[in-house]
Amino acid sequence: MVAKQRKIIHIDCDCFYAAVEMRDDPNLASKPLAVGGAADRRGVIATCNYEARAYGVRSAMATGHALKLCPDLYIVKPRFDVYKAVSREIHAIFRDYTDIIEPLSLDEAFLDVTDCELFSGSATRIAADIRRRVSQTLHITVSAGVAPNKFLAKIASDWRKPDGLFVITPPEVDAFVAELAVSKLHGVGKVTAEKLARQGISTCADLRTWDKLGLVREFGSFGERLWGLARGIDDRPVQTDSRRQSVSVENTYLQDLPDLKACLEQLPELLAELEKRMARLDASYRPDKPFVKVKFHDFTQTTLEQAGAQRSLDSYQLLLSGAYARGNKPVRLLGVGVRLQDLRGRHEQLELFER
């Protein structure tokens, strides 16, 4: 029996927090608007509208820097309870089409509509109807991408933002992906993109000239993933039961931590909070690799983890010392955390093999 061709929709709200604020106060609609923390408390922009983006304001930017780019920027304090309520209403609309929904955040999700019979099973028409209903009932806009897999659906949703719909049909996949920049591939960050560029690889067509073994030798286990993505292959299912991969705590400091000693002095307080969060986990998780995150005063950041290390103060001190040495400059944010092993997934695998 031939498996059905998957039909995946990725929905992404357009500047979600800002859109809700403009909806609730129409006077904000024509102004450059950002949702985030105050500049005098070293706040960070959570999101901003497109008027603000025209000035170069972006998410995760320091509020102080955003105000330098756009002195007339109007900043609103986040109302997460309202955003969560709107997100629940959006998901209620999703459930009219499918129960196979994978939330990625409050404002985006994957939907598997392979078996949806509405609109004669047309994923394109389903996506269009979702967009219409969100706009009419909640008065915000969403962009949608439709494709045979998650990787391409997510790229498609960004193709005609804001308030857009873009479809990649199965016959179009090969040609579309061939022209795609490798920087768009799932899992390719700045470092990997630079490494690929040094190899003369800028598009997926370039990447296809490498065989799988060569990519594995050059990029380790991720090389096999690169080989598949360059051909538009992504077999990941839409996960309706998303499981945690880590637990972490982080803090942004009002004054930069000037040196390693000052950073190390913050560890006991961070670790105490981390232990409280670890205590709330159920027994289906096992703590694995400890890690630290350091964001320097210039917003460069690094993360360091170590397999087999204990979750002790000494271990975190060693990790923090190693991470700090990568920048050796004042620090604005410190984070500590633990990667998790999902024991429930392991148990399900054992049951499968024991049958």
Would you say residue 3 lies in a domain?
no
Residue from 76, 79, 107 nearest 91 by CA:
107
pLDDT digits 0-9 by tens, 35-78: 998 877 778 898 999 999 999 999 888 899 999 999 999 999 99
Over range 118-139, report the average pLDDT.
95
pLDDT at residue 354 in the model? 39
Mean pLDDT lowest for which of 58-62, 175-179, 348-352? 348-352
Contacts for 275 with CB less than 8 Å, ≥ 6 apart: none
The answer to whether residue 86 sits within a structural domain is yes
User: Are 127 and 146 a contacting pair, CB within 8 Å?
Assistant: yes
pLDDT at position 190 is 81
- The pTM of the full predicted model, rounded to 2 decimals, is 0.72
Q: Annotation-wise, does 298 bind a ligand?
A: no
Give the tokens for residue 30: 């024509």
187 lies in the same domain as 160: no
In the predicted model, what is the mean pLDDT of the chain? 89
- Residue 129: Cβ within 10 Å count: 16
Q: What is the mean pLDDT of residues 115-142?
A: 95
What pLDDT sits at residue 345? 52
User: What residues make up the domain containing 101?
Assistant: 8-14+81-173
Among 51, 89, 108, 172, the active-site one is: 108
More confident residue, 344 or 86: 86
Chain segment 145-167, per-residue pLDDT in tens? 999 999 999 999 999 999 999 99
Mean pLDDT of 327-346: 85
Instruction: Point out the domain boundary residue: 80, 111, 133.
Output: 80
Alpha helix (H) ranges present in the chain? 16-24, 50-53, 63-69, 80-94, 123-138, 150-157, 173-178, 190-198, 204-207, 212-219, 222-229, 260-279, 313-325, 343-354
Predicted confidence at residue 351, as pLDDT, reads 38
Give the pLDDT of residue 33: 96
Predicted confidence (pLDDT) at residue 171 exceeds the cutoff of 50: yes
Residue 337 has pLDDT above 90, yes or no: yes
The whole-number pLDDT of residue 247 equals 87
Percent of the chain with pLDDT over 90: 66
Cα–Cα distances (Å) from 24 to 11, 83, 108, 137, 350, in that order, read 22, 11, 20, 13, 51
What's the order of all strands across the beta sheet hosting 74-76?
45-48, 33-36, 74-76
Q: How many domains does one find in the chain?
A: 4
- pLDDT at residue 1, rounded to an integer: 55
Q: Which residue has the tokens 């990787």?
A: 151
41 and 86 assigned to the same domain: no
d(CA 278, CA 216): 35
Per-residue pLDDT of 244-267, as tens digits, reads 788 888 888 888 999 999 999 999
Regarding whether 102 and 62 lie in a shared domain, the answer is: no
**Domain edge (last residue) among 25, 59, 80:** 80
Q: How many CB atoms lie within 10 A of CB 240?
A: 13
Calculate ∠ Cα 290-296-298, nearest 5°.
150
| Range scoring the smallest mean pLDDT among 187-201, 266-280, 337-351 | 337-351
The average pLDDT across 82-105 equals: 92
Tokens of 276: 């409280």
Residue 126 maps to a domain: yes
Q: Specify the pLDDT at position 2.
A: 58
State how far the Cα of 245 lies from the Cα of 225, in Å rounded to an integer. 20
Q: Which CATH number is 125's domain given? A: 3.30.70.270
Predicted confidence band of residue 355 (pLDDT cuts 50, 70, 90): very low
Out of 80, 97, 131, a domain closes at: 80
**Residues belonging to the chain:** 355
160 & 212 share domain: no
State whether 181 and 214 are in the same domain.
Answer: yes
Q: Is 234 part of any known ligand binding site? A: no
* Residue 273 a catalytic site member: no
